[in-house]
Amino acid sequence: MKSMELFLSILALTLLSCSAENPCCSFPCQNKGICLTGREPGSYTCDCGNSDFYGPHCETPTLTKRLKLFLRPSSETLHNWLVSPSLKWIWDIINNVEFLHNYVLKRIYLLRSNVVDSPALYETEHAYPTIGAFLNKTYYARTLPPVPLECPTPMGVKGPKELPDVNLLVEKFFTRTKFRPEPMGTSVLMAFFAQHFTHMFFKTDYTKGVGYTWGGHGVDVSSIYGKDTEVELWLRSGVDGKLKMQTVNNEEYPMYNKDVPVKMTYAPNVPEHHRFAMGHPFYGLLPGLFLYQTIWMREHNRVCDILKGEHPDWDDERLFQTGKLIILGETLKIVVEDYVQHLANYNIEIKFKPTVLFGEHFQYQNKINAEFNDLYHWHPLMPDEFNISGTIYPMKDFMFHSELVLKHGTASFTESLSRQRAGHMSHHNHGPSTIGVVRDTILHGRKLRYQSLNNYRRRFNLEPYESFEDLTGEKEMAAELEKLYLDIEAVEFYVGILVEKRRVKNLFGSTIVEIGGPFSVKGLMSNPICSRHYWKPSTFGGEVGFNIIKTATLKSLFCNNIKGPCPLVTFRVPDFKEGDVDELNNFRLKTEL
């Protein structure tokens, strides 16, 4: 009797174990196939619908797809074509022949944006498709569903049963011991542009959880005007469409927070006359963000003056709303032609031309993905100290000191940020003030149960890494990572992109480029003002307003809004050549001399 009871107990435990084991934990479905568990324990099916693949695991391409795959160069091959010095003459011809350039530009727009699911299929609250992925704007979207809860390891079936201690990872791989400058000569002015620009759509609502956002899921210039109409009204002057500004040291700056009581985030010890009112709560955190906010607010008022001259009959509301549309257009053009061009570093000139997509099947809607938010944590770009007109400010004396821009003036501050190297977006390069961010980002990825780095590479048409040395490009760190993760298929998403070897002639590794690129292009070109209904002079107050957008550049943005001679305005420090090894000390020495 006892032997029978023992047998039944063992059988029950075995059945329980089998029923708890999710066959989708091994991610058997390829090429965007969706895994569905079956009625019988351990059974599953792969839904290959609309994927151009078929077979038990969606592993076999259709004949048309097979031909496309045969003709399509790998992402590395394409990147090398685009950055190769020996092929620059071909790209110069394309850049100067309009119909060729328009064709190539359209292909770039479409190839990049079509990689992104639109509309989004998944969101951060559920592990399966929901209508909320499209309709509920409080959720971030997500590219891949989470690792099922019942899997034997946090990454599915590969790797350790517990992920490495996050504090150990931070100490071993990410803490800066010596500042490592960005290898392509990127300036700190670019680093602050990235931070100011992206925080109009990366707005995690931590009161609800890491999967929630209070943003509008796109380029909406809310970073300049505020999150809603209430904040916007506080920032507006109510006269001629302009924003409230005050004059200090013969320059215009945002108002003090005491006079415009919008919600801002300042340290308790920041005095009243150093607290300013701006469109984002923490733009008072760093003077570089304050600089950009000041310049954009000046630009809005400059545009309104031009519109008032063209349309003296327009009231305050119409001047403001049309000025806002022009600022949005300027933002998109500068982001595409200055910022994205710098990040891509391609020989082809990347232009902001919404018209090349007219007539194409293109959806003018966007949803910010949680993975894109995490991937964009570029805090290693921040140096440990800042050289402003020869005065060195350690980070602790730079944070929460927006008044430094007033002290040095916008011209000197802009020039100083243009001449200083940003940090390398890589491992062992998080400074003391941002080391907590990398820790939190890794933990957020675990909370959202992101799949492995390799699974994301597969999703974005990249070859998965076959070894830790393949990932890092060296041996020592690879060996340390292998001890902790055991299997290359178990490396976490954010950890992987930080330890990944740098791509040739680029700021980042291939994963950031090939995942970030599609999200960026989709988010930029899906803006409604890029549609044929919006993209015409009347939207922007006539040809004069339309031309403000068409001629906008990073340099003109600053030069039009700084009195006196225009300072140096550049995303790459002057006279830099890839391979230079000058670091912050060398720059400081040259400045002092």
* The pLDDT value given to residue 361: 85
Catalytic sites, residue numbers: 199, 376
> What confidence score (pLDDT) does residue 221 get?
96
pLDDT tens profile 192-243: 999 999 999 999 999 999 999 999 999 999 999 999 999 999 999 999 999 9
Residue-level pLDDT at 577: 77
Q: What is the mean pLDDT of the chain?
A: 92
Average pLDDT over residues 509-531: 95
Q: What is the pLDDT of residues 44-88, one digit of tens each?
A: 999 999 999 999 999 999 999 999 999 999 999 999 999 999 999
Average pLDDT over residues 346-374: 94
Whether residue 21 is predicted with pLDDT greater than 90 in this model: the reply is no
Q: What is the pLDDT of residue 301?
A: 98
**pLDDT per position as a tens digit, 486-498:** 999 999 999 999 9
Contact 284, 276 (CB under 8 A): yes
- From 187-191, 359-363, 387-391, 489-493, the region with the lowest mean pLDDT: 359-363
Q: Give me the half-sphere count of Cα atoms (radius 13 Å) on the Cβ side of residue 246.
A: 14
How would you label 397-418 residue by residue, b for 16+ Cβ within 10 Å and e otherwise?
ebbbbbbbbbebbbbbbbbbbb
pLDDT at residue 588 greater than cutoff 50: no
- How confident is the model at residue 363, as a pLDDT? 86
Over residues 151-172, the mean pLDDT reads 97
Residue 20 pLDDT level (bands cut at 50, 70, 90): low
Q: Please provide residue 423's backbone torsions phi and psi, each rounded to the nearest 5 degrees.
A: -85, 160
- DSSP single-letter state for residue 422: P
List CB contacts of 591: < 8 A, sequence separation 6 or more: 387, 390, 419
pLDDT digits (tens, 9 = 90+) for 370-385: 999 999 999 999 999 9
CA distance 557 to 569: 10
The pLDDT, as a whole number, for residue 5 is 47
Determine how β-strand 53-54 pairs with β-strand 44-47.
Answer: unpaired
d(CA 578, CA 85): 13
In the predicted model, is pLDDT for residue 308 greater than 90? yes
